Amino acid sequence: MAEYLASIFGTEKDKVNCSFYFKIGACRHGDRCSRLHNKPTFSQTILIQNIYRNPQNSAQTANASRCKSRFSIMLACGSADGLHCAVSDVEMQEHYDEFFEEVFTEMEEKYGEVEEMNVCDNLGDHLVGNVYVKFRREEDAEKAVLDLNNRWFNGQPIHAELSPVTDFREACCRQYEMGECTRGGFCNFMHLKPISRELRRELYGRRRKRHRSRSRSRERRSRSRDRSRGGRERERRRSRDRERSGRF
């Protein structure tokens, strides 16, 4: 019996423990869930709830009407319905990459080495804008949670917690990865928002080098130099794009 219970723990067959909380670290029923959410006392992974705001999601509703009256913008972004025009895909990706890089770098500089970081593109309240950071060491995750809960981001208090998620492949929606999830943004499995290939190379590629490198401090110095250069370049690109779309 005990063996059977262990084998179904956290799966859909488990009537006691919530499989969604176990796999994804978030369940749409939240505290009212009829099954148990076993909060871990140790974990490499932390969840920072609802912290990324996709400018396209808010633009679709808030700016739709304002946007429609501005024909030039619609032309600039080639959006026939005018719904997506306030924030182009390029701008959205830059905005997202910048957010990702800022959080990733801060996690490493303040708390410790990050193995993997993921951001949900889902729209349901319990998943929207969720950021999962998997640290190499559990102590760093613990330190991060304690500190982050005393901090603010974009005028909002941060809510961070240790998360049971260890394997993101288990947490992700397979259909979404194949481009065929019919549940869309309200799917209850993770739809992860990809960062650009350049940023991926920059954040994860350089880190592999750092493992080999003896002098971490020298590496870090050159890293922040790189970063400010990258930031300036992006800023230039952004203002160029702005001029082109005539938004300001």
DSSP codes, 130-179: -EEEEESSHHHHHHHHHHHTT-EETTEE--EEE-----HHHHB-HHHHTT
Q: Using CB under 5 A, which residues numbered 187 to 216 contact Zn ion? A: 187
Q: Count residues binding Zn ion (CB under 5 A).
A: 10
Nearest residue (CB) to Zn ion, 104 versus 176: 176
- Distances in Å between the Cα of 69 and the Cα atoms of 55, 66, 72, 75, 79 are 20, 6, 9, 12, 13
Residue 64 binds to Zn ion (criterion: CB under 5 A): no
Cα–Cα distance for residue pair 247/230, rounded to 1 Å: 23
Nearest residue (CB) to Zn ion, 17 versus 79: 17
Residue 18 binds to Zn ion (criterion: CB under 5 A): yes
Q: Using CB under 5 A, which residues numbered 171 to 190 contact Zn ion? A: 173, 176, 181, 183, 187
Nearest residue (CB) to Zn ion, 46 versus 187: 187
Cα–Cα distance for residue pair 233/241, rounded to 1 Å: 12
Residue 33 binds to Zn ion (criterion: CB under 5 A): yes
Nearest residue (CB) to Zn ion, 33 versus 75: 33
Question: Which residues of this chain interact with Zn ion, rule CB under 5 A?
Answer: 18, 21, 27, 29, 33, 173, 176, 181, 183, 187
